[in-house]
Chains A and B, each alone.
Chain A
Amino acid sequence: MTNYLIRRIIQMMLVVLLAALFTYFLFNISPGGPLAGIQQQQQRLTREDLARLRAQYELDLYWPFRFSRWLIGLPNGPITIGGRDLFANTAVGCYLPRDEQIVIQDGQRVVTPAGCDQYVYLADIPELHPAIRSSNGILRGDFGRSTVIRTGQPVWGEMMTRLPATLELMLISTFLSFLIGIPIGIYSAIKQYSRFDYTFTTISFIGSAMPTFFFGLMLILVFTVFPNLLQDQFPWLPKLPPGSRLAVRPYAVAEWLPRVQPGTGMDRFLHLLMPVGVLTFFYMATWSRFVRSSMLEVMRQDYVRTARAKGLVEKVVIVKHALRNALIPFVTVAVLTIPGFFSGAIITETVFAWPGMGRLYYEALNRSDWPIALAFIFITAVLTVFATLLGDILYTVVDPRIKYT
């Protein structure tokens, strides 16, 4: 087991490194690189402006150095050993690049090859790279600074302000979906082909096939738009707030209810209703289907027949012999929801303007705030790898057949 764990953790680190390389690669093939967002804001730029901007985002460094600085924050200057700076004069980038030029000289076309007018040397890094561009590296928990959404502010700080909203949304809907979905799945499997089973398999089927954004819009239509439009005819219809996490000013849900003050528990609750509804429905569909099929699979097994042949009553057969086995795959798959607690639900958060991680990511992509987008992807990847490992370890705990060596 220890050997296995060590091996898995090494593998995990490799995967994380690959994930980092991949995200960084994405970053670099993106059109205009990280400058895209800024160029959208500021149009005409001189060569010097551009150079300065490039330097701000370290685009003047050659990519291996850039990647290494992004990942671990090194090199951050010359290597000092015994008071002597080594490699201080190694060129690590180009501040003012020169494109290939064709000049007519004495009636002849002379091609000046692309090159560099001003190099960046290792010794330059500390002074040329002021606060905004320096990062201690993503592996040390420094995700750099936002370029567009909160220009100049640390990405981590911005994410931390969004995380509570996402955690709230995801924890509640995941919990509810387990609470509803698992019993439905079990009962459907026990009563296979019954009316209950048909009804709920069809509902779950629709739940997992239905696009969440449309379902979300429908909820807004039913609980916000129609009550508002029909206010004169049906003044008693309750109106739910269509988006965001908290209200700014007091509002009325329905005439027969007291006005809701912003920031109160009732306010939070009302804002949660629709996004939680969408996500719970969607996850519940997935989990009830999963539990049902794994339960059905187990009910077919010979040992369930043995349990019956032993003279155990049906309840014991199901709870003790079938359910325990059916929940083995469930437990290992359920831990895969962990990355979601960080990354949130991109679509649902967008539909309901929920100020969480998913929406932050959506904004970052739409406004080309690459440091935020990359940090999001990177952390999600790390959490996914971690959750997979956790799932494998849990397997050994719940299933005596699995032993890793």
Chain B
Amino acid sequence: MTTAAQSVTLKGLAQEEKTESQARIIFRRFRRHRLAVISLILVSLIFLVSLLAPVLTPFERDAIDLSSKSRPGPPGTIDMEGRTHYLGVDHLGRDLFTRVLYAARVSMSIAVLVVLISETFGALVGAIAGYYGGLVDLAISRVIEFMLTIPSLPLLLILSAIFLRSDTVLPLPGFLSRFLSALLLAPEREVQKVVMLVLVLVFFGWLSAARLMRGMALSLSKQDFVEALRAAGASDARIIFRHIIPNGIAPILVSASLALGGVIVTESALSFLGLGVQDPTPTWGNMLATSQSYMFQHPWLPLVPGVFLVIVSIGFNFIGDGLRDALDPRLKR
């Protein structure tokens, strides 16, 4: 009899140990992906630097240094007050170091906003499609399928060409507009355009999350425990939010991390082509675009935003890869 009791308690203990060590296993596996760890450190550093942008630099974002003799000016140019432009000044005489930090802030904020909105929306749509099945699912998955086959860049470009050119004012509530303005360290009128761009990017951003979650929800909704929950009178909303979505968090996390890199590249590409964020709001993309005209004499110009862009875009991909290995070793690339 004692054996029985003991074995039961032992089993309980073992289970606790298992869940506790789960996090440690994930961490250990992640740490093994050296490039992911390096990327995490570098990306966090850029993130931190972008948060501290106004503290780290004495210059204003758009302030023009009239004293500098050459515009663009090389790194180390010193202005009238004796302050150094560490990375030089651009063609208008604006401090590049300052602008690249502010650009980090804008690019990162856009990426985070887009990913946050698209993954949430995608997860929700996917969960609904997978959970209800039938016609709802058919309609939603057809839309996803179709949107995934069309080449997204031409459409993204035409959408931003149309929306960013228009003078339509989005009905943003005041607090949101003020919050975004503080987040981007940009005046409220510039916020408008950024929000439009975010919406355009979300238009194509939610697809992979939705597809992932749909698959997850589809298999979960067929399982007994969901049946039991339904029989016990749990509402659909409760089942979706408490049981289905939490189950899909791990793959969504991986997809979000990969998406962060993707969105940063897409946003930069749009801005590079003049159809994204516009000067004077700095982003790495539009800084690269202006640098293209001056790079033949001033080759460091594209390097400044470029290095940031490459680190962040490749970095997020490696982090996502590391996360995937850590969360599900079977999916190892």
Contacts and interface: CB of A to CB of B under 8 A. Distances in A.
A29 B149 contact: no
Nearest to B261: A209
A355 to B, nearest CB: 16
A47 to B, nearest CB: 21
B333 A293 contact: yes
B149 A30 contact: no
Nearest to B146: A15
A210 B274 contact: no
B162 A209 contact: no
Interface in A371-394: 373, 376-377, 380-381, 384, 388
B167 interface: yes
A381 B162 contact: no
Nearest to A222: B299
B321 interface: yes
A159 interface: no
A340 interface: yes
Given A31-B168, A214-B302, A293-B333, A340 B265 contact: no
Nearest to B317: A209
B166 A31 contact: yes
B55 interface: no
Contact of A217 (B151, B158, B275, B288): B288
B249 to A, nearest CB: 24
Q: Which label, helix, strand, loop or mixed, suits the secondary structure of the B interface?
A: helix
A146 interface: no
Interface residues of A, number: 49
Contact of B273 (A26, A347, A377): A347
Most buried by A among B162, B272, B292, B295: B162
Given A30-B162, A225-B299, A365 B157 contact: yes
Interface stretch (B44-52, B88-96, B221-229, B307-315): B307-315
B151 A340 contact: yes
Contacts of B168: 31
Contacts of A361: 154, 157
A347 B310 contact: no
Given A209-B314, A347-B273, A366-B275, A217 B302 contact: yes
Interface in B279-295: 288, 291-292, 295
Interface in A241-261: 242
Most buried by A among B35, B149, B154: B154
Nearest to A192: B332
B25 interface: no
Contacts of B275: 365-366
Q: Which label, helix, strand, loop or mixed, suits the secondary structure of the A interface?
A: helix
A201 B161 CA distance: 36
Interface in A317-342: 336, 339-340
Contacts of A68: none
B296 interface: yes
Given A362-B157, A380-B154, A210 B299 contact: no
Contact of A214 (B150, B161, B166, B309): B309
Nearest to B160: A365
A213 B150 contact: no
B172 interface: no
B265 A211 contact: yes
A228 interface: yes
Given A221-B302, A377-B154, 5 more contacts: A217-B292, A218-B302, A224-B296, A229-B299, A368-B165
25 contacts: A26-B158, A30-B166, A31-B166, A31-B168, A208-B317, A209-B261, A209-B265, A210-B310, A210-B313, A211-B269, A211-B313, A214-B302, A214-B306, A217-B295, A218-B306, A221-B295, A228-B296, A347-B153, A347-B269, A347-B272, A362-B157, A365-B161, A366-B273, A368-B165, A384-B149
